[in-house]
Structure 1
Amino acid sequence: MFKKIISLLLIAGLIPVLAQVDRSRLPEPGPAPEIQLGEYESFELPNGLKVFVVENHKLPKVTFYLQVDSDPALQKEQTGYVEAVGELLRTGTKNRTKDKLDEEIDFLGASFSTSADNITASALSKYKDKIFEIMADVIMNSEFKQEELDKVKKQMISSLAASKDEPNAIARRVRSVLMFGKDHPYGELETEETVNAISLDACKNYYQTYFKPNISYLAIVGDISLEEAKQLVEKYLGGWQKGNVPEHKYNTPKPPLIMKVAMVDRANSVQSVISVCYPVELPVGSEDAIKASVANLILGGSATGRLFMNLREDKAYTYGAYSALRPDPIVGTYFAFAQVRNSVTDSAVAEILKEMKRIRSEKVSEDELAKAKNYLTGNFIRDLENPATIARFAVNTARYNLPKDYYKNYLKNLAAVTIDDVYNTAKKYIKPNNAYILVVGSADEVADKLTKFTVTNKIEYYDINGNPYDPTMKKIPEGLTAEQVIRNYVEAVGGADKLAAVKDRTVKMSGSMQGMNVNVTLYQKYPNKLYQEVDAGVFKQKTVFDGEKGYVEAMGQKQELQGDQLESLKNEALDAVLDYSKYGITPELTGMENINGKDAYRVVLTSAGGKKTTQYYDPDTWLLIRSVSSISTPQGSFTQTMDMSDYKEVDGVKYPFKYIQSFGPQSIELNVNGIEINTGLPDSLFEVK
């Protein structure tokens, strides 16, 4: 009976004939979703400040966002002062000290943030008058003080110390230099020298020159009416004085004429950070911008991109490989990136270039195009749930002189992107033959295999600050050996007899990290016993090593030392430097390297188990100034760097009294408070229980 009913319905045409559906073809895409952009109102003050108001009364909250639209300025020998201005804006005004400013904001339960070109404040709508008055005070009356600048500079230098041994941070810095050059504001790099050179006058001058209403945009979003917004802005920012703001023009950076390979040598790296990069002329909101976003998404803009699927899913070279094609009002950028093990560095570069060439030479599939457009459509619609998005659209439309209906027609224009559009856009902006291939890693292990990517078979070397150098020019003096460097070091710190006489040593140090005070006490006893306590207040850690085995104890949990950690401690004997062979350690002088602006001899110590530690010695004083090693943990492999300075004599032996230790992205400066020699430390202190 059921089959008869179906047959009758089919004859009557009341249900479709499934056999007539061609399932081998994808359904035609539907029309672009109709979106209703939130409305905004705008007005302009006599001083030139442009204001955009988005009313949204769903929550009793108001957000104020000020954008200062100035051209980037070259900072030269004081690079970093613009960033410092952003921090100083939060440190007090002519009417409020920093403490009073913090107290008032906290009392309101508000959020408040500043940078060199924008200020954001957010609070419950019943406090909108008060929070905006505070914001206006910061905008017009900020007062910079030397003691606050000194704190900011100290934080910046600490951040630089942490980043100098973080390979991804190094790649970002050197990538900027390669693409833009140091004579362009996008290519300038902060260094310890430039940060130390930052003056209070430079910061004040920047604030007084560029914080002007006639180049600024104010967005107000939330539980507020247009009339209320006008009253607030006129009351508190009506007196903000406009002024002439200098304009800066720079030559537009160009991609290299031929492919170039750049190397940042990190001797102990077990992985390489790869970047394939170049600048592109792709203005914000240009005709190609939407097409370029689709092309890049297919190539490497997500975890479904071709780069990810190739290098991770197919080749298992990496945990992730991506690319970015970013518009910019001055000059845009393209870069593809991945972090891979040393042995497959050249293979990974080849695969990245292959995918870049493929998207230029072969048209993408209908499926890839549909998925990319769906992904971007979803992101756009999701962003619209945030009322601040509408304000951002309004500011961008005015700031970049976009068509008034640019965002209203975004999904329509996205839906109109075709396979041919992606193909033509890729040919225009994806340039595998005009790219910089930057590798941050061990040159000894990967450099030779990278020469095949250049016409000249030449690799250009850069230090971590993007300064080029010729490694062949740093020649070791003829006849100098690792053993001689170490002997010279022994003599420099006091001589073999003095070192041999040290049978136990106690070192007490203190410092701070991420706002926490850290105290370290280190006990060592001949030959290689160790006990270390780290006290950071809420966190305490104890390491015990009896010469053969050991453990780490923290938060009530005890973990046995294994692998790299155990081998490292076995090599920390008090007398090891007097005879490395006694402990199965082989030293090798491998060259010279620039350390903190000065060449140093590089000695690689290889343990019996194959673990390598790289040490750097000052050729003038013969003192050890840096030690670098790789540590393997359950969370991954990290490079640990220890810089040593401020040597002082204790019982005839010179020891460093200042250490800067970097471990992954973390950094801590430790100052030695005291060293005691031969106090008769008991063996029981080092017992592994």
Structure 2
Amino acid sequence: MRLEFLVLFFVFFTLVSISVTRGQNHDMQASPVVTSSPHVLTEYRTLANDLELIHVRSEAFTASTLVARWSFKPALELELAGKGHGLARCISEKLSLDSVAWEEAATWQIHPDGAVIQGPMDSTLSGWNQDFLDAIMHPPLEAIWPAVQEHWLEKWDAENTPVMPAIARVKSHLLFGPQHPYGELHFPRTIEAISASEIRAYHTDYWHPNNSQFYWFTPMEVEDIPSSWVTQLESWKSREVQPSAVTAPGRPRSIKSAIIDRNSDSVGVCLAHILRMKPDHPDATALDMIRHLLSQSTTTEVEIDADPLMGSFSIAWNSTPSVAAREVRGVLNAMRERVNGSLSEGAMDSLRASYLLSQTALNLDWPKQSVHDMAPQDVTWVQNVNDLDSIVQTIQASDLQRVAINYLRPKNLHLILDGNRSDLEAVAREFSPEDELLFFNPQGRQMSNYGPVPAGLLAADVIDSFYEACGGVASFESLRSAIREGTMVAGGAMQMNVKISETYGVGNRTSYSIEGQAMMEYILRPGQGISIQMGQQRPMNSSEYRRYEQGLYAGYLLHLEDLGLACEVVGTAQRNGAELLVLELRHNGKLEQTLFFDTQTHLLMSTTEERTGPTGPIILTIEYEDYRTFGGLTFPTQIARRSNNQRMDFTIESIDLNPRIDQSIYSWE
């Protein structure tokens, strides 16, 4: 959705007088201003079921457009991804069947979070009105879904694999991640898994009158919302909407590059980052002025999408392999100029005039084209329809720079390139390290960065070979306990003593101390754990517990099912002259850890994982070196942990196998 529509009709501020009043509980109020110029009148009304009706009238309007929108965040759909889109398609299909009986034509677009329909000003319930409201208020019949599902699957490739739809899908996946409802993607297999009852359940869960707003745009002579509409909508029962528990997405600490590989001589380019701004934020207009200024500041014709409702900011354009890198640098420089520099007063005056003029140009054909160009959420401009001109005039150069600093992220974004991989890898490497590049196919599926998997090789084979090389699977499985002692150096300076006591299946206690004084401790029992720092005790959350849970097992890779993990061999890699086998561990479908095993020694050489920290993603890499034998079993004794710009080096000096350990050390109050 495009932010320019959020300020739709702000153009009228330089031309017209506007009156806006708010009414509640069936009372409609309005104070039109007499003027010879076209004007906009906005009237608000709330029904008994808390549905909000907003009637927007203007002498400039020549058609009737009804916009329905919902405010909710859906839960993850996981293996049924696409239910919201399926509901939208079912409702659109119902309207197609109903429209055969309509005396006059209407056009519509249905979305998972709303709908837009345009038709004649028919105030009766004999045309599109009744059918449209009925389709919105009630779940579609189950009989509609099989045909809709079949048609959707037939058109899936044509709808989702062209350049810009493919970029949009990958952009959402990268910005929000697969564990966020905005980041999970639907595929043919997930669509096939959706039943008609689940489509109906999606409507029941999310489409309620008490979380919806209906906007009706009409010519000025249409004075009232039809009473028949009100009667029909008031019969719609309100229901509680369950909030969706999703984690806020983080932003990358640098520029992350991804390539959508397709056989093409042209290139689609997109720069995107998370946008943390509410649609009604006081800085929304300043941000839109920055969007407008950026579109004028680049030599490339770009499309800029600032979407506070979705929470993303993106700049996209078409290019060629020979100039793509130069154009990316130009757009990034334009973003940096807004962050680092301030416009002169003359430039600000020019921007204000240009910005208001651009809004005029956008609205010349509205609402004639609204069904095609406007999404349901693009109506929030009505909230500030009185104030745009004064807002624009009061925004200063310092305000633009402040907003740019707060919301533009030229150093922390995703670069997405769509085209021939062989042409684009050099472009991507200019902005991101080679080993961090991501690759996708046009369907939006992430492709492996690694070489082919050896024929017939299973993850269990690699894991068994690792433990056999370290003393034998049976020997690790028979271990009852162990105590490891050594040192930890953080940042090349501070050194702590480390003691890890493990009674397998019972508990794990890891202590960091300086001169005998405990600084940090982590204690686990099956299903629960605590951390103690400088004497302050707190329980572990679920994600923290999962990170330490492997310490309850002598050979945790032999107990992946107990840990809720699935493992797969995903390919081979070359590092420091050695060939490595690459395995991935996943928890509930989400990548949790990547492991690298030497094909010759069978030893585990390193692991990588991505965690979400308070300031964004954290890439943790652990390297295992200097394997030594203690009591017949072999363990790494030099362990280096690197996360972003921090490094910790562990040296294991002794390992005592099967010692007697007082199990009370795993207890806490």
TM above 0.5 = yes
In the alignment, which residue of structure 2 is the partner of 1:539?
Answer: none
Q: Distance in 1 between matches of 2:323 and 2:44?
A: 55
In the alignment, which residue of structure 2 is the partner of 1:40?
Answer: 42
Which stretch of structure 1 is more off in the superposition, 35-44 or 251-260?
A: 35-44
- The yes-or-no answer on 1:453 pairing with 2:448 is no
In the alignment, which residue of structure 1 is the partner of 2:306?
Answer: 325
Q: Distance in 2 between matches of 1:56 and 1:349?
A: 42
Q: Which amino acid aligns with 1:418?
A: Q
Task: Specify which of 434, 442, 451 is matched with residue 473 of structure 1.
Answer: 451
Q: Distance in 2 between matches of 1:178 and 1:397?
A: 23
In the alignment, which residue of structure 1 is the partner of 2:654?
Answer: none
In the alignment, which residue of structure 2 is the partner of 1:140?
Answer: 137
Q: SS where residue 342 of structure 1 aligns?
A: coil
Aligned residues of 2:259 and 2:424 also touching (Cα < 8 A): no
The normalised TM-score by structure 1 is 0.54
Q: Taking structure 1 as reference, are residues 40 and 164 closer, same or farther at Cα in structure 2, changes over 3 Å only? A: closer
Q: Distance in 2 between matches of 1:380 and 1:344?
A: 31
1:174 CA drift (Å):
0.9
1:281 CA drift (Å):
0.4
Q: Taking structure 1 as reference, are residues 152 and 357 closer, same or farther at Cα in structure 2, changes over 3 Å only? A: same
Task: Map 1:493-512 to 2 at 5 A.
Answer: none
Q: Distance in 2 between matches of 1:59 and 1:340?
A: 38
1:42 CA drift (Å):
2.7
Any gaps of 5 or more consecutive residues in structure 2? 1-12, 19-39, 456-568, 572-669
Q: Distance in 2 between matches of 1:59 and 1:326?
A: 26
Aligned residues of 1:60 and 1:125 also touching (Cα < 8 A): no
Task: Map 1:571-590 to 2 at 5 A.
Answer: none
Task: Specify which of 297, 300, 307 is matched with residue 306 of structure 1.
Answer: 297
Task: Map 1:589-604 to 2 at 5 A.
Answer: none
1:239 CA drift (Å):
1.7
Q: Taking structure 1 as reference, are residues 149 and 411 closer, same or farther at Cα in structure 2, changes over 3 Å only? A: same
1:362 CA drift (Å):
2.6
Aligned residues of 1:49 and 1:214 also touching (Cα < 8 A): yes
RMSD over aligned Cα, in angstroms?
Answer: 3.8
Q: Taking structure 1 as reference, are residues 475 and 342 closer, same or farther at Cα in structure 2, changes over 3 Å only? A: farther
CA shift digits 1:288-307 (9 cap, x unpaired): 2111111121112xxxx222
Aligned residues of 1:89 and 1:115 also touching (Cα < 8 A): no
Any gaps of 5 or more consecutive residues in structure 1? 1-31, 312-319, 478-597, 601-689
Aligned residues of 2:259 and 2:419 also touching (Cα < 8 A): yes
Q: Taking structure 1 as reference, are residues 110 and 128 closer, same or farther at Cα in structure 2, changes over 3 Å only? A: farther
Task: Specify which of 312, 319, 324 is matched with residue 340 of structure 1.
Answer: 319
Q: Distance in 2 between matches of 1:197 and 1:92?
A: 22
In the alignment, which residue of structure 2 is the partner of 1:677?
Answer: none
Task: Map 1:38-187 to 2 at 5 A.
Answer: 38-55=40-57, 62-92=64-94, 99=97, 101-105=98-102, 107-126=103-122, 128-131=124-127, 132-146=129-143, 148-163=144-159, 165-187=161-183
Q: Taking structure 1 as reference, are residues 59 and 165 closer, same or farther at Cα in structure 2, changes over 3 Å only? A: closer
Aligned residues of 1:53 and 1:220 also touching (Cα < 8 A): yes
Q: SS where residue 274 of structure 1 aligns?
A: strand
Q: Distance in 1 between matches of 2:87 and 2:134?
A: 16
- The yes-or-no answer on 1:350 pairing with 2:329 is yes
Aligned length: 422
1:398 CA drift (Å):
13
Q: SS where residue 243 of structure 1 aligns?
A: coil
Q: Which amino acid aligns with 1:352?
A: V
In the alignment, which residue of structure 1 is the partner of 2:267?
Answer: 272
% identical equivalent positions: 17
Q: Taking structure 1 as reference, are residues 271 and 110 closer, same or farther at Cα in structure 2, changes over 3 Å only? A: closer
The normalised TM-score by structure 2 is 0.56
Q: Taking structure 1 as reference, are residues 466 and 244 closer, same or farther at Cα in structure 2, changes over 3 Å only? A: same
Q: Distance in 2 between matches of 1:135 and 1:367?
A: 50
Q: Distance in 2 between matches of 1:343 and 1:69?
A: 44
CA shift digits 1:611-667 (9 cap, x unpaired): xxxxxxxxxxxxxxxxxxxxxxxxxxxxxxxxxxxxxxxxxxxxxxxxxxxxxxxxx
Q: Distance in 2 between matches of 1:155 and 1:180?
A: 29
Q: Distance in 2 between matches of 1:166 and 1:454?
A: 25
1:336 CA drift (Å):
2.3
Q: SS where residue 453 of structure 1 aligns?
A: coil
Q: Distance in 1 between matches of 2:386 and 2:62?
A: 27
Q: Which amino acid aligns with 1:215?
A: N
- The yes-or-no answer on 1:441 pairing with 2:416 is no
- The yes-or-no answer on 1:293 pairing with 2:288 is yes
1:459 CA drift (Å):
1.9
Aligned residues of 1:80 and 1:194 also touching (Cα < 8 A): yes
Q: Which amino acid aligns with 1:270?
A: D
Q: Distance in 2 between matches of 1:435 and 1:69?
A: 27
Q: Distance in 1 between matches of 2:358 and 2:448?
A: 46
Q: Taking structure 1 as reference, are residues 466 and 368 closer, same or farther at Cα in structure 2, changes over 3 Å only? A: farther
Which stretch of structure 1 is more off in the superposition, 364-373 or 171-180?
A: 364-373
CA shift digits 1:565-617 (9 cap, x unpaired): xxxxxxxxxxxxxxxxxxxxxxxxxxxxxxxxx999xxxxxxxxxxxxxxxxx
Q: Distance in 1 between matches of 2:62 and 2:335?
A: 49
1:193 CA drift (Å):
0.8
In the alignment, which residue of structure 2 is the partner of 1:18?
Answer: none
